[in-house]
Amino acid sequence: MNLSNKKILITGADGFIGSHLTEMLVQKGAKVTALSYYNSFNYWGWLEVLDCLNDIEVVSGDVRDPHFCKEIIKDIDVVFHLAALIAIPYSYVAPDSYVDTNIKGTLNICQAAKENGCERVIHTSTSEVYGTAQYVPIDEKHSLQPQSPYSATKIGADAMAMSFHSAFDLPVTTARPFNTYGPRQSARAVIPTIIGQIAAGKKHIKLGDLTPTRDFNYVLDTCRGFIALAESDKTIGEVINIGSGVEISVGDTLNLIKKIMNSDVEFITDKQRLRPEKSEVFRLCCDNTKIHELTGFLPEYSLKKGLKATIDWFTSSDNLSRYKIDIYNV
Protein backbone atom coordinates (compact mmCIF):
# COMPACT_ATOMS: atom_id res chain seq x y z
CA MET A 1 0.00 0.00 0.00
CA ASN A 2 1.24 3.46 -0.91
CA LEU A 3 0.31 5.81 1.94
CA SER A 4 0.63 8.94 -0.18
CA ASN A 5 -2.76 10.70 -0.37
CA LYS A 6 -4.32 8.11 1.95
CA LYS A 7 -6.62 9.43 4.66
CA ILE A 8 -4.92 8.42 7.89
CA LEU A 9 -6.05 8.67 11.52
CA ILE A 10 -3.40 8.57 14.24
CA THR A 11 -4.75 8.07 17.74
CA GLY A 12 -2.35 9.27 20.43
CA ALA A 13 -0.88 11.68 17.87
CA ASP A 14 -0.24 14.24 20.59
CA GLY A 15 2.21 11.94 22.37
CA PHE A 16 5.88 11.10 21.97
CA ILE A 17 5.85 8.48 19.21
CA GLY A 18 2.56 9.71 17.73
CA SER A 19 3.87 13.21 17.05
CA HIS A 20 6.93 11.86 15.22
CA LEU A 21 4.75 9.46 13.22
CA THR A 22 2.49 12.37 12.29
CA GLU A 23 5.46 14.30 10.89
CA MET A 24 6.75 11.31 8.95
CA LEU A 25 3.38 10.55 7.36
CA VAL A 26 2.86 14.16 6.34
CA GLN A 27 6.28 14.05 4.67
CA LYS A 28 5.09 10.99 2.74
CA GLY A 29 2.12 12.94 1.41
CA ALA A 30 -0.59 11.37 3.58
CA LYS A 31 -3.70 13.29 4.63
CA VAL A 32 -3.41 13.04 8.41
CA THR A 33 -6.08 13.43 11.06
CA ALA A 34 -4.37 13.61 14.44
CA LEU A 35 -6.34 12.65 17.53
CA SER A 36 -5.38 14.57 20.66
CA TYR A 37 -6.73 13.62 24.08
CA TYR A 38 -9.54 16.04 24.97
CA ASN A 39 -8.86 18.70 27.61
CA SER A 40 -10.53 22.00 28.45
CA PHE A 41 -7.38 23.97 27.59
CA ASN A 42 -7.58 22.91 23.93
CA TYR A 43 -3.94 21.83 24.30
CA TRP A 44 -2.64 19.45 21.62
CA GLY A 45 0.47 18.11 23.34
CA TRP A 46 3.54 17.64 21.12
CA LEU A 47 1.48 18.47 18.04
CA GLU A 48 1.82 22.10 19.15
CA VAL A 49 5.52 22.15 18.22
CA LEU A 50 5.27 20.55 14.77
CA ASP A 51 6.21 22.55 11.69
CA CYS A 52 3.55 20.62 9.79
CA LEU A 53 0.72 21.61 12.16
CA ASN A 54 -1.09 23.54 9.40
CA ASP A 55 -0.95 20.47 7.16
CA ILE A 56 -2.93 18.19 9.48
CA GLU A 57 -6.41 18.11 10.96
CA VAL A 58 -6.34 17.96 14.75
CA VAL A 59 -9.34 16.44 16.52
CA SER A 60 -9.76 16.38 20.29
CA GLY A 61 -11.50 13.43 21.89
CA ASP A 62 -11.23 10.16 23.79
CA VAL A 63 -10.93 6.59 22.46
CA ARG A 64 -12.92 5.38 25.45
CA ASP A 65 -16.08 6.70 23.77
CA PRO A 66 -17.34 4.27 21.09
CA HIS A 67 -19.65 6.80 19.44
CA PHE A 68 -16.81 9.29 19.07
CA CYS A 69 -14.56 6.60 17.55
CA LYS A 70 -17.18 5.70 14.94
CA GLU A 71 -17.52 9.35 13.98
CA ILE A 72 -13.81 10.15 13.54
CA ILE A 73 -13.08 6.99 11.54
CA LYS A 74 -15.66 7.78 8.84
CA ASP A 75 -13.86 8.03 5.46
CA ILE A 76 -10.51 7.01 7.02
CA ASP A 77 -8.37 4.58 5.00
CA VAL A 78 -5.71 3.66 7.57
CA VAL A 79 -5.69 3.84 11.36
CA PHE A 80 -2.49 3.92 13.41
CA HIS A 81 -3.78 3.21 16.92
CA LEU A 82 -1.24 4.51 19.46
CA ALA A 83 -3.53 6.01 22.11
CA ALA A 84 -2.90 4.30 25.45
CA LEU A 85 -1.92 4.77 29.06
CA ILE A 86 1.68 3.57 29.13
CA ALA A 87 3.35 4.55 32.42
CA ILE A 88 4.05 1.34 34.32
CA PRO A 89 4.34 2.92 37.81
CA TYR A 90 0.98 4.67 37.42
CA SER A 91 -0.63 1.36 36.45
CA TYR A 92 0.07 0.18 40.02
CA VAL A 93 -1.90 3.18 41.29
CA ALA A 94 -4.80 3.34 38.84
CA PRO A 95 -5.14 -0.01 37.02
CA ASP A 96 -8.83 0.41 36.25
CA SER A 97 -8.10 3.41 34.03
CA TYR A 98 -5.68 1.26 32.02
CA VAL A 99 -8.41 -1.30 31.37
CA ASP A 100 -10.76 1.41 30.11
CA THR A 101 -8.24 3.14 27.86
CA ASN A 102 -6.08 0.29 26.62
CA ILE A 103 -8.57 -2.54 26.24
CA LYS A 104 -11.88 -0.79 25.74
CA GLY A 105 -10.23 1.94 23.67
CA THR A 106 -8.80 -0.69 21.33
CA LEU A 107 -12.19 -2.40 21.10
CA ASN A 108 -13.81 0.91 20.15
CA ILE A 109 -11.23 1.64 17.46
CA CYS A 110 -11.49 -1.86 15.96
CA GLN A 111 -15.28 -1.82 15.99
CA ALA A 112 -15.33 1.61 14.33
CA ALA A 113 -12.75 0.53 11.74
CA LYS A 114 -14.82 -2.57 10.96
CA GLU A 115 -18.06 -0.63 10.56
CA ASN A 116 -16.41 2.02 8.39
CA GLY A 117 -14.52 -0.40 6.14
CA CYS A 118 -10.96 0.76 6.88
CA GLU A 119 -8.28 -0.65 4.61
CA ARG A 120 -5.71 -1.14 7.39
CA VAL A 121 -5.43 -0.90 11.20
CA ILE A 122 -1.99 -0.81 12.81
CA HIS A 123 -2.45 -1.56 16.50
CA THR A 124 0.36 -0.69 18.90
CA SER A 125 1.57 -3.29 21.38
CA THR A 126 4.73 -3.21 23.53
CA SER A 127 7.67 -5.46 24.36
CA GLU A 128 6.51 -5.31 27.99
CA VAL A 129 3.94 -8.00 27.17
CA TYR A 130 6.79 -10.54 26.97
CA GLY A 131 7.91 -9.90 30.56
CA THR A 132 11.42 -10.97 31.52
CA ALA A 133 12.88 -12.86 28.57
CA GLN A 134 12.77 -16.65 28.82
CA TYR A 135 15.14 -16.72 25.86
CA VAL A 136 16.86 -14.10 23.70
CA PRO A 137 16.47 -12.68 21.22
CA ILE A 138 12.70 -12.55 21.81
CA ASP A 139 10.66 -13.52 18.77
CA GLU A 140 6.92 -13.18 18.34
CA LYS A 141 6.35 -16.76 19.57
CA HIS A 142 7.69 -15.92 23.05
CA SER A 143 5.11 -16.45 25.78
CA LEU A 144 3.28 -13.43 27.19
CA GLN A 145 3.76 -12.58 30.88
CA PRO A 146 1.61 -9.91 32.56
CA GLN A 147 4.13 -8.60 35.10
CA SER A 148 2.34 -5.27 35.62
CA PRO A 149 -1.25 -4.05 35.25
CA TYR A 150 -0.01 -2.06 32.24
CA SER A 151 1.35 -5.11 30.45
CA ALA A 152 -1.79 -7.09 31.34
CA THR A 153 -3.99 -4.50 29.64
CA LYS A 154 -1.74 -4.41 26.58
CA ILE A 155 -1.95 -8.20 26.32
CA GLY A 156 -5.74 -7.82 26.47
CA ALA A 157 -5.69 -5.05 23.88
CA ASP A 158 -3.53 -7.14 21.53
CA ALA A 159 -5.92 -10.06 21.87
CA MET A 160 -8.89 -7.81 21.20
CA ALA A 161 -7.31 -6.36 18.06
CA MET A 162 -6.32 -9.75 16.66
CA SER A 163 -9.75 -11.20 17.45
CA PHE A 164 -11.23 -8.69 15.01
CA HIS A 165 -8.98 -10.08 12.30
CA SER A 166 -9.98 -13.67 13.09
CA ALA A 167 -13.70 -13.04 13.60
CA PHE A 168 -14.41 -10.23 11.14
CA ASP A 169 -11.43 -10.29 8.75
CA LEU A 170 -10.45 -6.77 9.83
CA PRO A 171 -7.03 -6.06 8.23
CA VAL A 172 -5.18 -5.63 11.54
CA THR A 173 -1.43 -5.70 12.13
CA THR A 174 -0.10 -5.61 15.69
CA ALA A 175 3.16 -3.66 15.90
CA ARG A 176 5.22 -4.60 18.95
CA PRO A 177 7.96 -1.97 19.42
CA PHE A 178 10.71 -2.48 21.96
CA ASN A 179 11.92 0.43 24.13
CA THR A 180 11.62 3.60 22.06
CA TYR A 181 13.52 6.76 23.02
CA GLY A 182 14.23 10.17 21.52
CA PRO A 183 13.13 13.82 21.50
CA ARG A 184 9.82 14.57 23.24
CA GLN A 185 9.82 11.41 25.35
CA SER A 186 8.23 11.59 28.79
CA ALA A 187 10.52 12.40 31.71
CA ARG A 188 9.32 9.21 33.44
CA ALA A 189 11.39 7.13 30.96
CA VAL A 190 14.96 6.23 31.90
CA ILE A 191 16.89 7.91 29.06
CA PRO A 192 15.19 11.33 29.41
CA THR A 193 15.56 10.98 33.18
CA ILE A 194 19.33 10.59 32.87
CA ILE A 195 19.82 13.25 30.21
CA GLY A 196 17.50 15.73 31.89
CA GLN A 197 19.17 15.48 35.30
CA ILE A 198 22.66 15.87 33.81
CA ALA A 199 21.56 18.79 31.61
CA ALA A 200 19.98 20.47 34.64
CA GLY A 201 23.35 20.37 36.42
CA LYS A 202 22.57 17.63 38.94
CA LYS A 203 25.62 16.00 40.55
CA HIS A 204 23.77 12.84 41.55
CA ILE A 205 21.43 10.94 39.23
CA LYS A 206 18.36 9.37 40.82
CA LEU A 207 17.43 6.06 39.19
CA GLY A 208 15.92 2.70 40.04
CA ASP A 209 17.55 -0.66 39.30
CA LEU A 210 20.51 -0.44 36.90
CA THR A 211 20.71 -4.17 36.13
CA PRO A 212 17.75 -4.71 33.73
CA THR A 213 18.62 -4.83 30.04
CA ARG A 214 16.66 -3.17 27.27
CA ASP A 215 16.58 -3.05 23.47
CA PHE A 216 16.52 0.72 22.87
CA ASN A 217 15.24 2.05 19.56
CA TYR A 218 15.42 5.61 18.28
CA VAL A 219 11.95 7.02 17.68
CA LEU A 220 12.43 7.63 13.95
CA ASP A 221 13.31 3.96 13.49
CA THR A 222 10.18 2.93 15.39
CA CYS A 223 8.06 5.18 13.15
CA ARG A 224 9.72 3.79 10.02
CA GLY A 225 8.80 0.35 11.33
CA PHE A 226 5.15 1.34 11.75
CA ILE A 227 5.01 2.67 8.20
CA ALA A 228 6.74 -0.40 6.77
CA LEU A 229 4.10 -2.60 8.41
CA ALA A 230 1.27 -0.51 6.95
CA GLU A 231 2.76 -0.55 3.47
CA SER A 232 3.03 -4.35 3.27
CA ASP A 233 0.03 -6.63 2.74
CA LYS A 234 2.16 -9.51 4.08
CA THR A 235 1.81 -8.14 7.61
CA ILE A 236 -1.99 -8.36 7.80
CA GLY A 237 -3.09 -10.60 10.66
CA GLU A 238 0.42 -10.73 12.10
CA VAL A 239 2.08 -9.67 15.36
CA ILE A 240 5.46 -8.16 14.51
CA ASN A 241 8.34 -6.90 16.64
CA ILE A 242 10.10 -3.61 15.94
CA GLY A 243 13.56 -3.53 17.52
CA SER A 244 17.30 -3.42 17.01
CA GLY A 245 18.43 -6.78 18.39
CA VAL A 246 20.98 -4.94 20.57
CA GLU A 247 20.79 -5.45 24.35
CA ILE A 248 22.25 -3.04 26.92
CA SER A 249 21.79 -2.64 30.67
CA VAL A 250 20.39 0.52 32.22
CA GLY A 251 23.75 0.95 34.01
CA ASP A 252 25.73 0.76 30.78
CA THR A 253 23.26 3.17 29.17
CA LEU A 254 23.90 5.62 32.01
CA ASN A 255 27.66 5.33 31.48
CA LEU A 256 27.32 5.84 27.73
CA ILE A 257 25.24 8.97 28.23
CA LYS A 258 27.74 10.26 30.81
CA LYS A 259 30.55 9.77 28.30
CA ILE A 260 28.73 11.55 25.47
CA MET A 261 27.81 14.45 27.79
CA ASN A 262 31.29 14.59 29.41
CA SER A 263 29.68 14.16 32.83
CA ASP A 264 31.04 12.80 36.10
CA VAL A 265 27.67 12.46 37.86
CA GLU A 266 27.19 9.71 40.41
CA PHE A 267 24.25 7.33 40.66
CA ILE A 268 21.87 7.21 43.62
CA THR A 269 19.17 4.56 44.06
CA ASP A 270 15.76 6.19 44.41
CA LYS A 271 13.48 3.63 46.08
CA GLN A 272 10.30 5.14 44.63
CA ARG A 273 11.67 4.35 41.16
CA LEU A 274 12.04 0.63 41.90
CA ARG A 275 9.34 -1.70 40.60
CA PRO A 276 8.00 -4.49 42.81
CA GLU A 277 10.47 -7.36 42.43
CA LYS A 278 8.11 -9.73 40.59
CA SER A 279 6.94 -6.91 38.34
CA GLU A 280 10.36 -5.81 37.07
CA VAL A 281 11.18 -6.96 33.54
CA PHE A 282 14.86 -7.83 33.82
CA ARG A 283 15.75 -8.64 30.25
CA LEU A 284 14.50 -7.56 26.81
CA CYS A 285 16.20 -8.12 23.45
CA CYS A 286 14.35 -8.12 20.14
CA ASP A 287 14.42 -10.66 17.35
CA ASN A 288 13.59 -8.46 14.34
CA THR A 289 13.85 -11.24 11.75
CA LYS A 290 10.12 -11.24 10.98
CA ILE A 291 9.77 -7.54 10.15
CA HIS A 292 12.90 -7.68 8.00
CA GLU A 293 11.67 -10.72 6.08
CA LEU A 294 8.18 -9.29 5.51
CA THR A 295 9.05 -5.65 4.78
CA GLY A 296 12.83 -5.31 4.41
CA PHE A 297 12.92 -2.99 7.43
CA LEU A 298 16.16 -2.55 9.36
CA PRO A 299 16.96 0.16 11.93
CA GLU A 300 19.10 3.06 10.74
CA TYR A 301 20.19 4.50 14.09
CA SER A 302 22.82 2.96 16.33
CA LEU A 303 22.30 3.58 20.04
CA LYS A 304 25.17 6.07 20.12
CA LYS A 305 23.84 8.00 17.12
CA GLY A 306 20.33 8.08 18.56
CA LEU A 307 21.53 9.16 21.99
CA LYS A 308 23.52 12.03 20.50
CA ALA A 309 20.42 13.27 18.66
CA THR A 310 18.33 12.90 21.83
CA ILE A 311 20.91 14.71 23.96
CA ASP A 312 21.10 17.56 21.44
CA TRP A 313 17.34 17.99 21.70
CA PHE A 314 17.06 17.77 25.49
CA THR A 315 20.00 20.10 26.13
CA SER A 316 18.27 22.91 24.23
CA SER A 317 17.06 25.30 26.92
CA ASP A 318 13.64 25.67 25.25
CA ASN A 319 13.10 21.92 25.31
CA LEU A 320 14.56 21.25 28.76
CA SER A 321 12.34 23.97 30.26
CA ARG A 322 9.27 21.87 29.36
CA TYR A 323 10.30 19.21 31.90
CA LYS A 324 10.01 19.27 35.70
CA ILE A 325 13.36 17.60 36.39
CA ASP A 326 13.02 17.72 40.19
CA ILE A 327 9.72 15.84 40.24
CA TYR A 328 9.56 12.06 39.79
CA ASN A 329 6.77 11.50 37.28
CA VAL A 330 5.01 8.16 37.69
Are 158 and 177 in contact by the 8 Å Cβ rule? The answer is no
| pTM of the shown model | 0.96
5-57 pLDDT, tens digit per residue, is 999 999 999 999 999 999 999 999 999 999 999 999 999 999 999 999 999 99
Asked whether residue 271 carries a pLDDT value surpassing 90, the answer given is no
pLDDT in tens, 34-45: 999 999 999 999
Burial of 262 (0-12, 13-18, 19+ CB in 10 A): exposed
Work out the pLDDT band at 240, boundaries 50, 70, 90.
very high
More confident residue, 132 or 208: 132
What's the pLDDT score for residue 272?
76
Contact yes or no for 228/82 (Cβ under 8 A): no
pLDDT of residue 305 exceeding 80, the answer is: yes
Is the separation of the CB atoms in 88 and 148 below 8 Å?
A: yes
Q: Residue 327: pLDDT above 80?
A: no
Inform me whether the pLDDT recorded for 120 exceeds 90.
yes
pLDDT at 286 over 80: yes
pLDDT of 237 over the 80 cut:
yes
pLDDT interval class at 4 (50, 70, 90): very high
Taking alpha carbons only, the member of 113, 127, 216, 236 closest to residue 172 is 236
**Looking at residues 224-235, what average pLDDT do you find?**
98
Cα–Cα distance measured from residue 151 to residue 95, given in angstroms and rounded to the nearest whole number: 11
Average pLDDT over residues 219-241: 98
Task: Return mean pLDDT, the chain.
Answer: 96
C-alpha to C-alpha distance for 168 and 146, rounded to whole angstroms = 27
CA pair distance 214, 282, nearest whole angstrom: 8
Average pLDDT of the segment spanning 265-284: 87
Residue 228: pLDDT band (50, 70, 90) is very high
Average pLDDT over residues 76-91: 97
Flag whether pLDDT at 105 surpasses 80. Answer: yes
Give the lowest-confidence range in 137-146, 150-159, 165-174, 312-321.
Answer: 312-321
d(CA 23, CA 34): 10
What pLDDT score does 60 carry?
98
What is the C-alpha separation between 146 and 156, in angstroms, rounded? 10
List domains and CATH numbers for the chain. 7-180+218-242 (3.40.50.720), 182-214+246-284+302-320 (3.90.25.10)
Nearest to 180 by CA among 301, 326, 9, 3: 301
Task: Please report the pLDDT score of residue 208 as a whole number.
Answer: 84
pLDDT at position 284 over 80: yes
Of all residues in the chain, the percent with pLDDT exceeding 90 is 89
Please, are residues 175 and 228 in contact by the beta-carbon 8 Å criterion? Answer: no
CA nearest 210: which of 261, 250, 241?
Answer: 250
pLDDT in tens, 156-171: 999 999 999 999 999 9
106, pLDDT greater than 80: yes
Mean pLDDT is lowest, of 40-54, 88-102, 122-136, 204-218, for 204-218
Average pLDDT over residues 72-92: 97
Q: Give me the pLDDT at residue 324, please.
A: 83
